[in-house]
Chain A
């Protein structure tokens, strides 16, 4: 069945270093790839997304890259700060009209060490 694999499951970095989280999807029809940040006891918040007609997107310290041929996409966080510590989820969606069935990755717990 359709799935999204996310790695690593945990990631510790020193403050100021970069963090990279990778996801691989199985359904080649997927065309929308959001990333969510979830803090403890809260709901996920959309931090960046990319669509299949774009290879890279950047928003300040956060960037996402997409390789459609290899069916993987990655989240890059530069100059990490302690407040970046959270669980990050990737998702893939076909986004067909009227149906937004996301397939989520299993999450990466990022710890930024001060």
Chain B
């Protein structure tokens, strides 16, 4: 897992509920990214942060929010505005040579 810890591994969300996925890294990398993975599709970028206290929307940011208060942490909140949240969520930190280190993922299911 390259020093990236995601929790929980499985998460269940009720309709209209916000949930937060945790991502922590001990690699001392500045850049952290969140991706969504659906069956048969490549990874799609939700949000990314290049430095503490700064983050940018990715390609599918609607219904998601993030914060980057510490270098080690980049939590993702899936809000009730995200109408199809069931997916596998992956967090990554990027080294200075552009290589990505991924966490083990969180599988979110709407119940």
Taking Cβ atoms with an 8 Å cutoff, the residues of A that contact B are: 4, 6, 9, 32, 34, 36, 41-46, 49, 89, 93, 95, 98-107
Contacts and interface: CB of A to CB of B under 8 A. Distances in A.
A32 B100 contact: no
B42 A45 contact: no
Interface in B23-57: 31, 33, 40-43, 45, 48, 50
Range of interface residues on B (Cβ < 8 Å): 20 to 34
B104 A106 contact: no
Of listed B2, B6, B33, B94, residue having the most chain A CB within 10 A: B94
A102 B104 contact: no
Nearest to B2: A45
Given A42-B104, A43-B105, A44-B90, A104 B43 contact: yes
A102 B31 contact: no
B99 interface: yes
B102 A45 contact: yes
A93 B48 CA distance: 15
Interface in B63-82: none
A36 B101 CA distance: 10
B105 A106 contact: no
